Amino acid sequence: MRIERAEVIVTSPDRNFVTLKLTTDDGLTGLGDATLNGREQAVVAYLAEHVVPLLLGRDAHRIEDTWQFLYRSAYWRRGPVTMAAIASVDMALWDLKGKAAGLPVYQLLGGASRTGLLAYGHASGRDEQELFDSVRSHQEQGYRAIRIQAAVPGLKSIYGIASNATYDGNTGVRYDHEPAQRGGLPNEEDWDTRSYLRHIPTVFEAVRNEFGPELPLLHDGHHRMTPIQAAQLGKSLEPYGLFWLEDCTPAENQEALRLVRQHTTTPLAIGEIFNTVWDYQQIVREQLVDYVRSAVTHTGGITHLKKVLDYASQYQIKSGMHGPTDISPVGMAAAMHLGLAIHNFGIQEYMRHGEKTDAVFQQSYTWQNGLLHPGDQPGLGVELDTDEAGKYPYVRAYLPYNRLADGTVHDW
Ligand code: CS2
Ligand code: MG
């Protein structure tokens, strides 16, 4: 099964997506997601200029060898661009192998370890009422676990507050939060950690009073606190029994989490901006996190993320794969196949894509009673309609950034 064609397809239905499409000499096609929000064209160039020439004529069955070849022969290793490019090749090869075998990818990964995947959605609000409506709307959509993000008094705009915070079954309008803004320069947002630290515990107190103690609640600190501030927040949220506090502090310095761990038992999730097992080495070995947040798309594909999760499983650390709308339906499907097969599955993030995106990417995965399932189509179970994709040309888009009151640039 030799690779005869390799295409890098860029489309922008509801947002930009980069997809690698491989076609073999016996006419099978495989898809891989290579979307890196706000830096899409860097991965397009890496694939088109440097990887595609290396794939033509290769035996598509040799997934591990191809992974090692792309990782080691590049000489320059790791990083978001390289690992998204390798991830897309890896996903496309698993898709091809599944189609050649007539099996869904999860069967090739060892079969199903559960009947479905618990998923969480994003609820958010500019005020308490909007937040409560957003939580209820997600419960009506079947979500059994919900991430809570709230506006902070005194701050103009912060991460995670949707332009539309509810689903409308009549109009089909979905929860819409797309931080990357098209056609311009990055938006500058304001941030103040002390106001946030004062406000967020009051939000969780209100949500618990309104929705009770059982509902699993998650929160994303989005890399904005110092280790001691993260420890403070984790401690002040303990009474509300969070499922997890995510990205509580930037983790380039993995030791930073030791201080957080020393002060709070709130479960910690980290890793959506990590790209390789080496980013996790210390925090897993020292039991400094409880959930691995990496996405298949940004961590070298199914082959490499499975190694990260197998390593984490020795420490009883579970998966919590990244799944916002900037992970394409191909990347979401890959996450679901891996999530269904591994033992240490924790939870899957699931933001619903828009109608245009659903028309470009035909998906066989399902969402029922709060559980995701990748479906039983051979391969990954997602097909790309190139004509439909061709309707939506790429538009450059940037994620926002933060400045503190004194003008200092801060993590967004
Ligand atoms: C976020 C993402 O979903 C999450 O947990 O951290 O929405 C993140 O902001 C985007 O993926 C950035 O592209
Ligand atoms: Mg996050």
pLDDT reported for residue 42: 98
Question: Which residue's CA lies nearest to atom 8 of ligand 1?
Answer: 324
| Residues, beta carbon < 5 Å, ion ligand 2 | 220, 272
Q: Is 291 a catalytic residue?
A: no
Q: What is the number of the ligand closest to the CA of 297?
A: 1
Q: Is 159 a catalytic residue?
A: yes
Catalytic position from the list 138, 222, 298, 304: 222
CA distance 320 to 331: 14
CA distance 155 to 316: 38
pLDDT reported for residue 111: 98
pLDDT mean values, one per 10 residues, the chain (412 residues) = 98 97 98 98 98 98 98 98 98 98 98 98 95 95 97 93 75 76 92 98 98 98 98 98 98 94 98 98 98 98 98 98 98 98 98 94 97 98 98 97 97 96
Q: How many CA atoms lie within 13 A of 14 on its CB side?
A: 24
Residue in the structure block whose two tokens are 């797309």: 178
Is residue 280 within 8 Å of residue 286, measured between CB atoms? no
pLDDT reported for residue 176: 73
pLDDT reported for residue 164: 73
Catalytic position from the list 159, 280, 350, 392: 159
CA distance 241 to 204: 9
Best of 220, 268, 275, 298 to mutate for ligand 1, by most ligand atoms within 8 A of CB?
A: 220
Residues framing ligand 1 (Cβ under 6 A): 37, 179, 220, 222, 272, 322, 324, 326, 349, 399
Dig out the tokens for 197 from the structure: 């630290």
> Helices 301-313 and 80-101 sit at what angle, rounded to 10 degrees?
100
pLDDT reported for residue 172: 65
Among 335, 301, 298, 333, which residue's Cα sits nearest to residue 319? 335
Q: Please, what is the Cα angle at 103 between 102 and 104, to 5 degrees?
A: 135
pLDDT reported for residue 66: 98
CA distance 228 to 241: 20
CA distance 79 to 154: 36
Q: How far does the centroid of ligand 2 lie from the alpha carbon of residue 247, in Å?
A: 6
Best of 157, 177, 272 to mutate for ligand 1, by most ligand atoms within 8 A of CB?
A: 272
